[in-house]
């Protein structure tokens, strides 16, 4: 197919990540770009997966794919929110999965955009999504999707399934942090709690619209999305709801743990300030007496007595004892 006037025809070699033809029994056959060009709906369901950052892919989607212009732009957009939109008899779906790529954070979610027709699926992404790899592996083993609707449902299922490990890791983290609060109170613990709260808040921000997208998908009435597939989608949506509830629980536990940590730190600070206040109260009159007798003027009592220093020390000791008795009587100690 030609990308545009005066340009080299798109060969599918750069931005095409895979092209598979489903056999309707759970397996699929890899296709080259020439076979993709010759594909007809009666041959079976076709799944094309692209890297949308490739210039050739962008041009093909706009000019050679046959999809509506609105769909082409949605498949190429950089920022997208999980959603489901019906256009004619096709579904435009944007979903997100946890980022399980090396040296990445799970809450930095990876988006995938899909245009699903009765006999064709076109999906685009920027970063690698392991759920797509899982789906291809199922096709290789002959246990994969059978048609376009199955590709959509199974991919949504895998995206939600892979979230489970991340949610479990959050729960393990908050369990550990709750135990650490009982034994330590330091800056590292506060930083770990803050990081966990940030991760859960970010993940929750993306999962809520994803649940809305799945709920909307259940409501859309396209003829090729049959009732068994809708039942599967309902199970996926319910599982996603459980993940959201678990994340909310972790976030609330993290908030309570952080409050408990701040309370313990405040108690420690108050205890130290209390000790300092008692010490200052004890030494305040002593400092007054020593300062008074230390002024360099005539008339200071005891200047000519060799026993005056010991008498004065005794007076200071008696003053400290009287203060301690008063503090005890007032229940300040």
Q: Which of 4-13, 45-54, 75-84, 148-157 has the lowest mean pLDDT?
A: 4-13
Reported confidence tier of residue 141, pLDDT bands at 50, 70, 90? very high
The answer to whether residue 9 sits within a structural domain is no
Q: What is the pTM of this model?
A: 0.75
49 with 159, same domain: the answer is yes
Give pLDDT tens digits for 251-289.
Answer: 898 888 888 888 877 877 888 888 888 888 888 888 888
Give pLDDT tens digits for 26-73.
Answer: 999 999 888 988 899 899 999 999 999 888 898 899 888 889 999 999
135 with 205, same domain: the answer is yes
209 with 309, same domain: the answer is no
316 with 232, same domain: the answer is no
Residues paired with 124 in a beta bridge:
50, 113
pLDDT number for residue 6: 35
Asked whether residue 102 carries a pLDDT value surpassing 90, the answer given is: no
83 with 232, same domain: the answer is yes
44 with 108, same domain: the answer is yes
CATH of the domain at 136: 3.30.460.20
Average pLDDT for the chain: 85
120 with 237, same domain: the answer is yes
Give pLDDT tens digits for 299-328.
Answer: 777 777 888 888 888 888 888 888 888 888
Reported confidence tier of residue 5, pLDDT bands at 50, 70, 90? very low
Q: Which of 225, 242, 264 is where one domain is finished?
A: 264
pLDDT number for residue 4: 33
Task: Give dist(CA 302, CA 319) in Å, integer.
Answer: 19
Residues paired with 84 in a beta bridge:
93
The answer to whether residue 58 sits within a structural domain is yes
pLDDT number for residue 64: 84
- DSSP per residue over 247-309, as a string? HHHHHHHHHHHHHHHHHHHHHHHHHHHHHHHHHHHHHHHHHHHHHHHTS-STT-TTTT-TTHH
73 with 201, same domain: the answer is yes
How many folded domains does the chain comprise?
A: 2
CA angle 151, 124, 236 (to 5 degrees): 40
178 with 325, same domain: the answer is no
Q: Which structural domain range is residue 35 located in?
A: 16-264
195 with 297, same domain: the answer is no
Asked whether residue 201 carries a pLDDT value surpassing 80, the answer given is: yes
The answer to whether residue 320 sits within a structural domain is yes
Q: Which of 223, 246, 264 is where one domain is finished?
A: 264
Task: Give dist(CA 97, CA 100) in Å, integer.
Answer: 9
Reported confidence tier of residue 242, pLDDT bands at 50, 70, 90? very high
Reported confidence tier of residue 2, pLDDT bands at 50, 70, 90? very low
The answer to whether residue 93 sits within a structural domain is yes
pLDDT number for residue 120: 94
The answer to whether residue 285 sits within a structural domain is yes
308 with 259, same domain: the answer is no
CATH of the domain at 308: 1.20.58
Closest of 121, 64, 111 to residue 206, by C-alpha: 111
pLDDT number for residue 13: 57
pLDDT number for residue 153: 93
Asked whether residue 219 carries a pLDDT value surpassing 60, the answer given is: yes
Closest of 117, 118, 109, 125 to residue 49, by C-alpha: 125
pLDDT number for residue 332: 75
Q: Which of 216, 245, 264 is where one domain is finished?
A: 264
249 with 291, same domain: the answer is no
Closest of 77, 45, 247, 276 to residue 147, by C-alpha: 45
The answer to whether residue 241 sits within a structural domain is yes
Q: What percent of the chain has pLDDT over 70?
A: 92
The answer to whether residue 2 sits within a structural domain is no
Give pLDDT tens digits for 63-100.
Answer: 888 899 999 999 998 878 889 999 888 999 999 888 87
Asked whether residue 113 carries a pLDDT value surpassing 80, the answer given is: yes
The answer to whether residue 318 sits within a structural domain is yes
């Amino acid at each position: 197919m030609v990308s545009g006037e005066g340009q080299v025809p798109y060969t599918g070699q750069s931005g095409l990540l895979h092209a598979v033809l489903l056999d309707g029994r759970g397996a699929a056959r890899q296709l080259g770009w020439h076979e993709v060009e010759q594909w007809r709906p009666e041959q079976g369901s076709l799944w094309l997966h692209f890297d949308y950052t490739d210039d050739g892919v962008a041009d093909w989607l706009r000019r050679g794919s046959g999809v509506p212009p609105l769909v082409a732009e949605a498949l190429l957009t950089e920022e997208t929110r999980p959603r489901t939109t019906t256009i004619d008899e096709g579904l435009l779906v944007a979903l997100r999965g946890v980022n399980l790529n090396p040296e990445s954070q799970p809450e930095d979610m990876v988006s995938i955009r899909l245009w699903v027709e009765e006999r064709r699926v076109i999906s685009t992404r920027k970063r690698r999504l392991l759920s797509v790899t899982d789906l291809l592996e199922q096709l290789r083993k002959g246990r994969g999707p059978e048609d376009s609707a199955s590709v959509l449902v199974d991919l949504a299922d895998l995206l939600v399934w892979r979230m489970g490990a991340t949610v479990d890791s959050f729960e393990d983290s908050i369990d550990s942090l709750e135990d650490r609060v009982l034994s330590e109170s330091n800056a590292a613990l506060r930083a770990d709690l803050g990081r966990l709260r940030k991760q859960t808040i970010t993940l929750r921000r993306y999962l809520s619209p994803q649940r809305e997208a799945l709920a909307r998908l259940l409501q859309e009435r396209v003829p090729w999305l049959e009732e068994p597939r809708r039942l599967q989608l309902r199970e996926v949506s319910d599982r996603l709801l459980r993940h959201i509830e678990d994340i909310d629980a972790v976030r609330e536990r993290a908030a309570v743990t952080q409050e408990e940590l701040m309370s313990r730190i405040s108690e420690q600070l108050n205890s130290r300030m209390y000790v300092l206040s008692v010490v200052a109260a004890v030494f305040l009159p002593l400092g007054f007496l020593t300062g008074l007798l230390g002024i360099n003027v005539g008339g200071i009592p005891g200047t000519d007595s060799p026993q005056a220093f010991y008498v004065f020390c005794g007076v200071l000791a008696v003053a400290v004892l009287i203060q301690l008795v008063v503090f005890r009587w007032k229940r300040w100690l």
